[in-house]
C-alpha cells in the first residue's frame, strides 16, 4: 500500500500546492485538506502516514504567527494528533508550519534531568521577529547535524534551501538549554557560513540562537524548519540551476527520507489494513503496541554470521537455541578449574553513540570492559552473553551493535554463546538503547589472583587507558552539553565525538605477556572503572595495607584536562569519577617490578603499598 500524505490548508496558508507537489514527486499519495474539513471528521487524520503543515500566514498570523492554527489542532484534533504522534507517524512543519508546531508545544520537546519522566519538563521555546527587523527572502546554506531526525537521515553534506519569513528567530526561555537540545539530538539543521568561518547575518538570516534552522522531537518523527524544502525540489528552482543527480534539488532529500520511512510503516500501523480501519475496528496486535517481531528477525539475520564466527567446535548450541551450550572439554586438562563470571554494561556512553549514530564500537566497550574484570582474578574468557534493549528496534542498528560485540569476542578468543535483543516501548525512548553482558571465564584455583599476598613495599604500576572507557559519562555529558559533538577543541586535536566514543581498552595481551614469564608474579590487579582509584584499588587490598597513589607520576591525557577545566571539577572528584589516563593498576614485588617494566615498558610506576588501610592520593 502506498504511503499517504496530508497537506493541511488553512486561511492564509499559501504553500500548500507546491508542498503537495513535492510529496507526490517522491511517491506519496497526497491529499490537500482544509482544516475545517478535518475538524468535522478528525478520525481522517489517521488515514495518513505524513502530516505536513506548509508555509504561509495562517489566519493572517493574528495573535502571533501560527498561534490560531496551533490552537485549532490541539483543541479539535487533540486525541487524534496524540495517536498520530504515539504511532511515530511523521509531522513536518515548514516556516509558518514550524511556528505552529512550536506554538502547539510539539517542538522542540522535553528534557529529563535527575531521572524525571520525559514529559515533566517541556522546553519553552518560540519563534519571534527576525533580528534584522525585516522580512528575509534569500538562499541559505545548512549543515546537517547528528540527530534522530527521520527527515535528514543519511544526508552527510551541507544543503542549500531558500528562506522567506519575518518571524524566524528561534529563541529559548532558558538559553542554557541550547547545549542540552543539541547534545540530545534535537537540532538536525543549523545555518552555516557558505565560505566557512563564523556564522553571522545574512548566513544566519534571523539571528536564531545556536544558528538553529530546524528542530525535531526525541524520536525524530516531528520536524520543523524555517527554510522551504518544497521550493527546491528541482534544479530549475535554483537561481544558478544547480542540482544533484537527475537535476534533483536538495529539498527533495527531506521528502524522500519521509517517504522511505512511511513505507516502512507497512509492518506496523498498516499491519491490519488501512490506518483508519485499524483505528475504527479497535483491533490490536503486538506490532501496533510497539513490538515488531519481524524487525527482530531481520536483526538476527544481519548479525548471524558475525556471531557464528566466534563459535568453534566447543559450542554445542548457540544462536537460535533457548539456551547456549558449550563443551567443557577445553578445561578438562586443568587440575582445579574455577569459573569466574562478571556482568556489566556500558552505561550512558550509549547515549553518545545513539546521538552520533555510531553503533559499530559500543560492543567493543562492553566486551573489553568485561574481559578486564576477569583478568583481575587471573582468569581467561570462555564465553560471553549479551543483552541489547531498544525502545524501538532498528534492525540495522541492533545488528551493527551485536556485530561489534562478536568482533570483540573473536579478538579475545571468546565465544559469543547467545544473548537477548529486546524491544521495550515505554521503557526506553525511541532511538535510545541499553547494552549489557555477562562473561564467564576460567582460572586454575591455585593461580587465581586475589591480592592476599600484597605487602608493604610492593610497587603499583599503571597501564594507560584509551580514554574515558565506560565510566563517568553522565558527568562528561553534562559538561559537554553546550558543545556540538563535532567540536574540535585545541587540546584534543580531533572531533569531541571521536574522543568520547574511543573504545574501552582491553589488557588481555599485556597481562598474558607478563604471565608468560615465570619470574613475574602479579600480586593484584584493579580495573579502574566506576569509583575511580580509591574505590577500585581498595577492593584488592588485604587488611592492614594501604595504597599510596602519586598522581603527579603521570600526566592525565588532554580529554581529562579538558573535563577538569570546563567542569571546574575538584581534584578529589576527578580521581573518584574518571580513570585519569590509567585503566588498569597492577601490584608487584620490587624484584618483579623491575622485570615487568623491562618486558612491558608501557607500565607506569604510580605508587606503592605501605601499612595502613585504604587508598591515599598524593
pLDDT at 291: 65
pLDDT at 271: 42
Most confidently predicted of 14-18, 240-244, 447-451: 14-18
pLDDT at 286: 61
User: Is the CB of residue 134 less than 8 Å from the CB of residue 166?
Assistant: yes
Position 274 confidence tier, pLDDT thresholds 50, 70, 90 = very low
Q: Is 137 helix (H, G, I), strand (E, B) or coil?
A: strand
Higher per-residue confidence, 392 vs 74: 74
Does residue 202 have a cis peptide bond before it, meaning omega lies within 30 degrees of 0?
Answer: yes
pTM: 0.57
Does residue 387 register a pLDDT over 50? yes
Of all residues in the chain, what percent carry a pLDDT higher than 70?
Answer: 91
Comparing C-alpha atoms, which of 43, 41, 44, 52 is closest to residue 6? Answer: 52
Does residue 598 register a pLDDT over 50? yes
Grid cell, residue 134, equals: 525585516
Q: What sign results for the dihedral spanned by CA atoms 572, 576, 580, 584? A: positive
User: For the chain, how many residues are written?
Assistant: 618
DSSP state of 20: H
Does residue 569 have a cis peptide bond before it, meaning omega lies within 30 degrees of 0?
Answer: no
Of all residues in the chain, what percent carry a pLDDT higher than 90?
Answer: 60
Cβ neighbourhood burial of 224 (10 Å; 0-12, 13-18, 19+): buried
Does residue 184 register a pLDDT over 90? no
User: Is the CB of residue 87 less than 8 Å from the CB of residue 271?
Assistant: no
The 10s digit of each residue's pLDDT in 424-434 is 887 877 678 89
Q: Is 163 helix (H, G, I), strand (E, B) or coil?
A: strand
pLDDT at 205: 96
pLDDT at 267: 47
CA gap 3, 11 in Å, rounded: 27
pLDDT at 154: 92
Does residue 15 register a pLDDT over 90? yes
Catalogue the E-assigned strands of 424-502.
433-444, 459-464
Per DSSP, what are the bridge partners of residue 326? Answer: 315
User: Is the CB of residue 267 less than 8 Å from the CB of residue 295?
Assistant: yes
Does residue 28 register a pLDDT over 60? yes
pLDDT at 442: 94
Grid cell, residue 69, equals: 492554527
Mean pLDDT of the chain: 87
pLDDT at 1: 67
Does residue 501 register a pLDDT over 70? yes
Position 482 confidence tier, pLDDT thresholds 50, 70, 90 = confident
- Angle between helix axes 96-103 and 67-76 (nearest 10 degrees) is 50
Domains in the chain (CATH in brackets) are 4-111+119-281 (3.40.50.880), 291-448 (3.30.1330.10), 449-618 (3.90.650.10)
The 10s digit of each residue's pLDDT in 188-232 is 999 998 655 678 999 999 999 999 999 999 889 999 999 999 999
pLDDT at 329: 85
Question: Mean pLDDT over residues 521-538, rounded?
Answer: 91
Most confidently predicted of 103-117, 190-204, 352-366: 352-366
User: Is the CB of residue 31 less than 8 Å from the CB of residue 17?
Assistant: no
Question: Mean pLDDT over residues 592-600, rounded?
Answer: 92
Amino acid at each position: 500500500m502506498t504511503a499517504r500524505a496530508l497537506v493541511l490548508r488553512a486561511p492564509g496558508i499559501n504553500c500548500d500546492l507546491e508542498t503537495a507537489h513535492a510529496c507526490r514527486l517522491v511517491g506519496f499519495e497526497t491529499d490537500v485538506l482544509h482544516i475545517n474539513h478535518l475538524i468535522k471528521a478528525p478520525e481522517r487524520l489517521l488515514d495518513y502516514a505524513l502530516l505536513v503543515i506548509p508555509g504561509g500566514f495562517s489566519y493572517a498570523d493574528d495573535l502571533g504567527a501560527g498561534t490560531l492554527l496551533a490552537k485549532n489542532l490541539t483543541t479539535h484534533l487533540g486525541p487524534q494528533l496524540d495517536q498520530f504522534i504515539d504511532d511515530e507517524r511523521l509531522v513536518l512543519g515548514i516556516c509558518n508550519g514550524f511556528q505552529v508546531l512550536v506554538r502547539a508545544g510539539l517542538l522542540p520537546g522535553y528534557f529529563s534531568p535527575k531521572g524525571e519522566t520525559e514529559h515533566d519538563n517541556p522546553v519553552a521555546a518560540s519563534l519571534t521577529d527576525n533580528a534584522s527587523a525585516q522580512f528575509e527572502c534569500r538562499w541559505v546554506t545548512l549543515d546537517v547535524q547528528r540527530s534522530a531526525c527521520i527527515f535528514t537521515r543519511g544526508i552527510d553534506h551541507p544543503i542549500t534551501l531558500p528562506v522567506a519569513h519575518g518571524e524566524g528567530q528561534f529563541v529559548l526561555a532558558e538559553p542554557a538549554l541550547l547545549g542540552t537540545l543539541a547534545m540530545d539530538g534535537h537540532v538536525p539543521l543549523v545555518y552555516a557560513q557558505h565560505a566557512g568561518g563564523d556564522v553571522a547575518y545574512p548566513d544566519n538570516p534571523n539571528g536564531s540562537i545556536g544558528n538553529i534552522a530546524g528542530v525535531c522531537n526525541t524520536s525524530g518523527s516531528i520536524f520543523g524548519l524555517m527554510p522551504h524544502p518544497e521550493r527546491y525540489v528541482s534544479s530549475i528552482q535554483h537561481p544558478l540551476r544547480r542540482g544533484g543527480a537527475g537535476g534533483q534539488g536538495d529539498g527533495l532529500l527531506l521528502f524522500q527520507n519521509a517517504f522511505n520511512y512511511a513505507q516502512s510503516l507497512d509492518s506496523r500501523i498498516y499491519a491490519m489494513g488501512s490506518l483508519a480501519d485499524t483505528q475504527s475496528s479497535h483491533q490490536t496486535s503486538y506490532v501496533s503496541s510497539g513490538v515488531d517481531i519481524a524487525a527482530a528477525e531481520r536483526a538476527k539475520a544481519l548479525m548471524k554470521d558475525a556471531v557464528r564466527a566466534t563459535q568453534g567446535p566447543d559450542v554445542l548450541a548457540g544462536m537460535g537455541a533457548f539456551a547456549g551450550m558449550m563443551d567443557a572439554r577445553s578445561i578438562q586438562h586443568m587440575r582445579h578449574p574455577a569459573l569466574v563470571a562478571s556482568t556489566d554494561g556500558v552505561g550512558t556512553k550509549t547515549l553518545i553513540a545513539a546521538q552520533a549514530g555510531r553503533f559499530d564500537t559500543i560492543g567493543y566497550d562492553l566486551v573489553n570492559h568485561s574481559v578486564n574484570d576477569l583478568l583481575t582474578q587471573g582468569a581467561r574468557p570462555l564465553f560471553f552473553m549479551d543483552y541489547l534493549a531498544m525502545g524501538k528496534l532498528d534492525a540495522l542498528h541492533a545488528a551493527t551493535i551485536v556485530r561489534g560485540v562478536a568482533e570483540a569476542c573473536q579478538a579475545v578468543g571468546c565465544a559469543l554463546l547467545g544473548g537477548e535483543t529486546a524491544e521495550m516501548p515505554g521503557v526506553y525512548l525511541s532511538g535510545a538503547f541499553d547494552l549489557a553482558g555477562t562473561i564467564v571465564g576460567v582460572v586454575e584455583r591455585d593461580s587465581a589472583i586475589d591480592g592476599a599476598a600484597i605487602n608493604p613495599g610492593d610497587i603499583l604500576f599503571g597501564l594507560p587507558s584509551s580514554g574515558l572507557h565506560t565510566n563517568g559519562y553522565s558527568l562528561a555529558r553534562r559538561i559537554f552539553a553546550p558543545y556540538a559533538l563535532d567540536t574540535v577543541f585545541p587540546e584534543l586535536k580531533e572531533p569531541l565525538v571521536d574522543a568520547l566514543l574511543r573504545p574501552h581498552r582491553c589488557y588481555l595481551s599485556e597481562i598474558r605477556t607478563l604471565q608468560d614469564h615465570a619470574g613475574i608474579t602479579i600480586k593484584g590487579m584493579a580495573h579502574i572503572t566506576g569509583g575511580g582509584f580509591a574505590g577500585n584499588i581498595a577492593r584488592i587490598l588485604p587488611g592492614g595495607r594501604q595504597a599510596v597513589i602519586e598522581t603527579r607520576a603521570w600526566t592525565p591525557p588532554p580529554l581529562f584536562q579538558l573535563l577538569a577545566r570546563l567542569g571546574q571539577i575538584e581534584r578529589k572528584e576527578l580521581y573518584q569519577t574518571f580513570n585519569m589516563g590509567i585503566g588498569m593498576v597492577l601490584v608487584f614485588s620490587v624484584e618483579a617490578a623491575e622485570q615487568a617494566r623491562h618486558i612491558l615498558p608501557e607500565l607506569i610506576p604510580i605508587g606503592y603499598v605501605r601499612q595502613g588501610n585504604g587508598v591515599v592520593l598524593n
